[in-house]
Amino acid sequence: MKKNMYLKSVIMLSMFCFLSLSVAEARIKLVALPKRADTIIRLDNPQFTLIEEERVLTLQQGLNKVDFSWNGVSIDPDSIRIDILSHSDQVTLLNVSYPPNENALVWEISSAGAREEKIRVSYLLSNIDRLITYKSVADKAETQVNFKSHLILRNFSGEDFANAKVLLDYGESFEEGIRHEETKQLLFLKAGTVPIEKVWQWDSKKQIWDPEEVDQNVGIPVHYRITNTTDSNLGQNALWNGKMRVFQLDGHGSTILLGEDAVDLTPVGEDMEVYIGDSRDLVVTQRKMVDKQTNIRRNTSGRVVLYDNEEQVTAKIENFKDTNAKLKMVQHIPGEWDMHSCNFEYKKENANTIEFEIDVPAQGKAELVMHYFRRNIRN
Amino acid sequence: MKKNILALLFLFLWPNISHAKIDLVILPTQDSVQLTIYNSADLTLVKETRFLTLKEGFNELQFSWANTLIDPTSLEISSKKKTDVINVRSLKYPPKIKNVGLWNIHSRISGQVPVEISYLTSGLSWRAFYSGTLTPDEKEMSLKGYVLVTNNSGEDYANAQVRLIVGQVHLVDQISSLALRSAPYSTPYQAKTDSNSIHAFQNGRALDYGDYSDVTASRSFKKYRRKAKAVLKEGLSEYFLYTIEGRETIPNGWSKRLPSFDVGKVPVVNLYKYEEERYGSQVVRFLSFKNDQDHQLGATPIPGGMLKVFRHVDQEHHLSYEGQSRFKYIPIDEDVELNLGEAGDVVVKPMLINFKTENYLFDRYGNISGWDEVYTYKIAVKNTREVPVKIEIKRNFNVQKWDVQHQGDYGAFEAIDADTIQYTLGMQSQENKEFMYILRVFQGRRGDGG
């Protein structure tokens, strides 16, 4: 099997020993095929995968040519590097040449003596990469999750790796072989218990104002908020972007799937927001009860040139659940404005966005009333 | 019986040599199956319990699922009881073989270990539907709820515990599209094209979700039982979980109808609505009640579905078909209004009977700069039915500054929003009513707000 794997390898490192230095075509004469030793698949850059492979060359005294060629794989030739590891003071890379119409390059290496020399070849290989997935299992009370992450290694590069060290920028490394067209899932991060905050969010720009007017159910998006800090048993590193599936213990020894989301890269100290689904037991009905021009200024022809607009918006929030809910409500008021009255405290997120956190009791209601003037609107 | 899902256990003689797979294959039997079927998405969570006889050291378990709609990225194995006994080293999807997963499991013991294999599949679905029967006076309705579970997953599920989820789950990818990918997690160069292949499922087995024809219902079969199965209902997060008592067998291609609830006497109100902008000039009939204890309901939300409404017309319980209504998910304590369609036997006729303008303002050049428009409407309302009804009449103005006055038998008045008002009238059988409203619209400078 191992032999077979090796034969399938499409990246070749060949060594030629020259009898006569002037014969450039002598590449085909005497070939010693150094075996691939330690290989590292480094996946810390999400766009590019770096392969590092160590091989032992049997060098002759004088000039040696080492041929590196590939077929059926995609290697960025400019990324190919060679490092002399054992005797860097006595072994020198003289030049690199590229044979015509071939996926290959030839290193000319000068050695002070005949010896075995360990080298490391590194290059960027296409179509081998990794994905990160997350799985969280929430408790019944939805206060914490059991948090883990998998590394998905996908090799469609054309090259088989019989054994390699797979590295990310954090987490455990893996000693794994991966064949061409193979996908492998490996457990990569097990954070244990991580506290969560459950947030319902209604945004006046995104959600429908009057659910009665539409035939489908209008849900209110529900998020789990996970903070990437050590207090949360995380916080060692940024959490990569990836797909998260959230399950919940059902109290009968099984689980249900709550939902899944594509989460963004979450640096240390930041929040990861996981959109799991929509609540249909929290209903917001928002209506504009007053919408009229005031303080109208006209030009000499009687045309309205400037006015204020008086608006009163009411949002009725009904909680049909048997637990309290904290609704984050985002309201948008364009242009220049001032609040005349508002029955809830709000935080100004930016010039035109205000945010409320409204507690709605179990099986209860709350009503937000905001009365504001949009000022100096030009006609 | 179609069995496409196979779990094979390979035992290794030499734990360290990963290719030393030998031909000793053990087929662990399926001990139990649990199906958790969603209705807001084409999604089912399947959990199978199997007993594996493991050797101490490394074991390889092959799981294959040809001709099914399983999402390979959702495959998971875990020890059912002794969590530290087995350790899943990796899950490998071998090259060139479709629909096969290979777990490398390290066991600390030699012997039987109960494991749970779980995955997501598409192709199983359920929907709710209802049948209501009104009393002759239309004051009460008996309401029966059903669920129809359909299996088009490609796999037969025998003796499965069936659980249904009511709720709006958020998914990034459709499970059917994940099931049809050329590689389980797609490929680095194919990620984009794969996501477009959702509808590419061959054999015509892909489900056009949410559009089950009644053909599936006619194929459903019913086992004769001494007693209808109970359905345990409980809330979890934003969802409701319905667990059907006992075990069900649902072969691929079959549907199964199960009773969900049966309530004898739900008090209902005959509600009629008139709103030109929404329903045109016809009155639309609604049946209104509340999902609460006063209405013999309120234990759980009611999943959205189609309700067919019948009425007992005589003592012999002959039926008349009143209409049908597709309704949304109804939370506990929420009012329900079921749209039964246009009604000809309740009539609302608004008539503009007078129009005038007044209170003109002029600018300094003598041009008109403001005025009032005064519209007088008469609304005639007729209930030609033998039963009392309630009527809601909405009027939208689409003007900024207005004022309204009303006269006559207008019932209850309510300002709905900045330019909408509503009159609610209670009508006895065969009753006629008339009322008027005078709408004053302030134009130009008359609307300047002083």
Residue A372 belongs to a domain: yes
Contact B202, B179 (CB under 8 A): no
**Nearest of B324, B267, B331 to residue B304 by alpha carbon:** B331
Residue for token digits 């530290």? B84
Retrieve residue B44's tokens. Answer: 């089912």
> Considering only CB atoms, which chain B residues are within 8 Å of A302?
363, 365, 367, 369
**Residue A32, pLDDT score:** 60
**Interatomic CA distance for residues A274 and A224, integer angstroms:** 5
- A140 C-beta neighbours (distance < 10 Å), count: 11
Query: How would you write A134-153 as a 3-class SS string?
Result: EEEEECCCCCEEEEEEEEEE
The Cβ-side half-sphere exposure at A352, using a 13 Å CA radius, reads 9
**Residue A51, pLDDT score:** 92
| pLDDT tens-digit series, residues A236-255 | 888 999 999 999 999 999 99
In this structure, of A185-189, A286-290, A297-301, B31-35, the range with the lowest mean pLDDT score is A297-301
| pLDDT tens-digit series, residues A7-53 | 345 777 776 655 443 333 333 333 466 777 789 998 888 788 999 99
Are B95 and A179 in contact (CB < 8 Å)?
Answer: yes
Are B47 and A250 in contact (CB < 8 Å)?
Answer: no
For chain A, say whether B254 makes contact (Cβ under 8 Å).
no
| pLDDT tens-digit series, residues A95-135 | 888 888 888 888 889 999 988 899 999 999 999 999 999 99
**Residue A9, pLDDT score:** 59
CATH of the domain at A71: 2.60.40
Query: What structural domains and CATH numbers belong to chain B?
Result: 265-343 (no CATH), 346-447 (2.60.40)
Last residue of a domain, one of A108, A125, A142: A125
Contact pairs from chain A to chain B, CB under 8 Å: 177
> Considering only CB atoms, which chain B residues are within 8 Å of A287?
416-418
Task: Give the number of domains in chain A.
Answer: 2
Query: How would you write chain B as a 3-class SS string?
Result: CCCCEEEEEEEECCCCCCCCEEEEEECCCEEEEEEEEECCCCCEEEEEEEEEEECCEEEEEEEEECCCCEEEEEEEEEECCCCCCEEEEEEEECCCCCCEEEEEEEECCCEEEEEEEEEEECCEEEEEEEEEEECCCCCEEEEEEEEEEEECCCCCEEEEEEEEEECEEECCCCHHHHHCCCCCCCCCCCHHHHCCHHHHCHHHCCCCCCCCCHHHHHHCECCCCCCCCCEEEEEECCEEEEEECCCEEECCCCEEEEEEEEEEEEECEEEEEECHHHHCCCEEEEEEEECCHHHCCCCCCECCEEEEEEEECCCCCCEEEEEEEEECCECCCCEEEEEEEEECCEEEEEEEEEEEEEEEEECCCCCEEEEEEEEEEEEEEEECCCCCEEEEEEEECCCCCEEEEEEECCCEEEEEECCEEEEEEEECCCCEEEEEEEEEEEEEHHHCCC
DSSP A316: E
Backbone angles phi, psi at B318, to 5 degrees: -70, 155
For chain A, say whether B96 makes contact (Cβ under 8 Å).
yes
3-state helix, strand, coil in chain A (%, to 5): 5, 60, 35
**Interatomic CA distance for residues B174 and B208, integer angstroms:** 12
Retrieve residue B154's tokens. Answer: 């490609």
Are B169 and A293 in contact (CB < 8 Å)?
Answer: no
Q: Which residue of B has its CA nearest to A260?
A: B171
**Nearest of B375, B376, B380 to residue B393 by alpha carbon:** B380
**Nearest of A130, A77, A119 to residue A102 by alpha carbon:** A77
> Considering only CB atoms, which chain B residues are within 8 Å of A276?
169-170, 237-238
> Considering only CB atoms, which chain B residues are within 8 Å of A207?
none
Retrieve residue A266's tokens. Answer: 């979450």
Q: What is the dihedral of CA B422, B424, B429, B430, to 10 degrees?
A: -40
For chain B, say whether A21 makes contact (Cβ under 8 Å).
no
Min distance A44 CA to chain B CA atoms (Å): 16
For chain A, say whether B398 makes contact (Cβ under 8 Å).
no
For chain A, say whether B196 makes contact (Cβ under 8 Å).
no
Contact B273, B287 (CB under 8 A): no
Residue type, A76: D
**Interatomic CA distance for residues B133 and B311, integer angstroms:** 5
Residue for token digits 């998405």? B41
Bridge partner list, A377: A307
Rounded (5°) CA angle B102-B106-B108 = 150
pTM of structure: 0.79
Within 23-42 of B, beta carbons closer than 8 Å to A belong to 34, 36, 38
Burial of A108 by CB count in 10 Å (0-12 exposed, 13-18 middle, 19+ buried)?
A: middle
Chain A contact probe: residue of B16, B42, B90, B336 with most A CBs at under 10 A:
B90
Backbone angles phi, psi at A7, to 5 degrees: -65, -30
Residue A299: domain span: 283-378
**Interatomic CA distance for residues A219 and A334, integer angstroms:** 25
Last residue of a domain, one of A125, A142, A157: A125
Residue A117 belongs to a domain: yes
For chain B, say whether A292 makes contact (Cβ under 8 Å).
yes
Residue A153 belongs to a domain: no
Within 321-340 of B, beta carbons closer than 8 Å to A belong to 326, 328-329, 331-334
Residue type, B47: K
Residue A310 belongs to a domain: yes
Within 136-195 of B, beta carbons closer than 8 Å to A belong to 163, 165, 167-173, 183-189
Are A293 and B400 in contact (CB < 8 Å)?
Answer: yes
Length of chain A: 379
**Residue B221, pLDDT score:** 34
Are B184 and A291 in contact (CB < 8 Å)?
Answer: no
For chain B, say whether A141 makes contact (Cβ under 8 Å).
no
Contact B48, B32 (CB under 8 A): yes
Residue A17 belongs to a domain: yes
Backbone angles phi, psi at A267, to 5 degrees: -65, 165
Min distance A4 CA to chain B CA atoms (Å): 12
Min distance A128 CA to chain B CA atoms (Å): 7
Residue type, A354: I
Residue A292 belongs to a domain: yes
> Considering only CB atoms, which chain B residues are within 8 Å of A133?
73
Are B169 and A257 in contact (CB < 8 Å)?
Answer: yes
Chain B contact probe: residue of A245, A254, A312, A373 with most B CBs at under 10 A:
A254
For chain B, say whether A250 makes contact (Cβ under 8 Å).
yes
**Interatomic CA distance for residues B399 and A291, integer angstroms:** 10
pLDDT one digit per residue (tens) for chain B, 450 residues? 456 777 776 654 443 433 333 334 566 666 789 999 999 899 999 999 888 888 898 988 888 888 889 999 999 998 877 667 888 989 999 998 888 899 999 988 888 888 899 999 999 999 999 999 998 888 899 999 999 999 999 888 889 999 999 989 999 999 999 999 989 999 988 654 443 333 333 333 333 333 333 333 333 333 333 566 778 888 899 999 999 888 989 899 999 888 888 888 999 998 999 999 999 999 999 999 999 999 888 888 888 899 999 988 877 788 888 888 888 888 888 888 888 888 888 999 999 999 999 999 998 888 898 999 999 999 999 998 888 999 999 999 888 889 999 999 999 999 998 889 999 999 999 999 999 999 999 998 888 754
Which among A127, A183, A277 has CB closest to B93? A183
Strand order in B402-408's β-sheet? B346-362, B368-383, B432-444, B402-408
**Residue B82, pLDDT score:** 63
The residues, ordered by sequence, that sit 6+ positions from B116 with a Cβ below 8 Å of its Cβ are B47, B48, B49, B77, B78, B79, B80
Burial of A290 by CB count in 10 Å (0-12 exposed, 13-18 middle, 19+ buried)?
A: middle
Q: Which residue of B has its CA nearest to A5?
A: B19
Average pLDDT over residues A45-68: 88
Min distance A268 CA to chain B CA atoms (Å): 25
Last residue of a domain, one of A125, A150, A185: A125
Residue A191 belongs to a domain: no
Are A186 and B90 in contact (CB < 8 Å)?
Answer: yes
Within 182-201 of A, beta carbons closer than 8 Å to B belong to 182-187
Q: Which residue of A has its CA nearest to B96?
A: A181
Retrieve residue A180's tokens. Answer: 């061409």
Residue A254 belongs to a domain: no
Q: Which residue of B has its CA nearest to A163?
A: B18
User: Residue A6 — very low, low, confident or very high, per pLDDT cuts 50/70/90?
Assistant: very low
Are A296 and B449 in contact (CB < 8 Å)?
Answer: yes
Are B168 and A219 in contact (CB < 8 Å)?
Answer: yes
